[in-house]
Structure 1
C-alpha cells in the first residue's frame, strides 16, 4: 500500500478545519488533495484524536503481520500434506 504524504496529525488537523466551518473545497485546495481523498480520509480518521490514530496504525501493522504469518503457516501445511499424500 502506498504511504500517505500526510501524517495522522495532519489528516486530523484537516478534518478539524473542515468541521470548524471551513468549506471542504478550501481545505482541499490549501493542502493539495482532492475532495475524494479528503472524504476517504475523513471516513477513516473522522472523530479521532491523534493518539487514537497512532493506535489504529499500530493495530493495522500488527494485523498485517499476523495475516502474513497465517498465510505462511497455511502454505507450509499444504506443502506437508502434498508430501505426505504422495508417499
Structure 2
C-alpha cells in the first residue's frame, strides 16, 4: 500500500522498484489488484481470501471423506455379492 502511495506522489516507478527490490511487473500487478483501495478495503479483501482458503480446504476434506466412504461401500457390496454367490453354489 505504501509503495502504491509513493508512486502516486511523484516517485518514478523504476526508482521505487529498485528501492524496494521488486520488478516493475510486480508493481503493475499490485497496482492493478490494489490500486484505489484504502486500508479497510485491503483488510476486508485479505479476510475474504482467508475465508476462501478455509472453505476450499473444507471442500477438499469433504470430497476425500466421500471418496473413502464410496470405496468402502463398493468393497462391502462386492463382499456381499461374493458371499451370496458362494452360498448359491452349495
TM-score bracket relative to the smaller structure? 0.7 to 0.9
Partner of 1:49: 38
Unaligned runs of 5+ in 1: 1-11
Q: 1-side partners of 2:39 and 2:20: how far apart? A: 18
**If the length of structure 2 is used for normalisation, what is the TM-score?**
0.75
* Counterpart among 13, 17, 30 of residue 24 in structure 1: 13
Query: Out of 29, 52, 66, which is 1:63 matched to?
Result: 52
More helix by share: 2
Report the Cα distance in structure 2 between the residues aligned to 1:74 and 1:63, rounded to whole angstroms: 16
Alignment size in residue pairs: 76
SS at match of 1:47: coil
Pair member with larger Rg: 2
Whole-Å separation in 2 of the counterparts to 1:16 and 1:64: 29
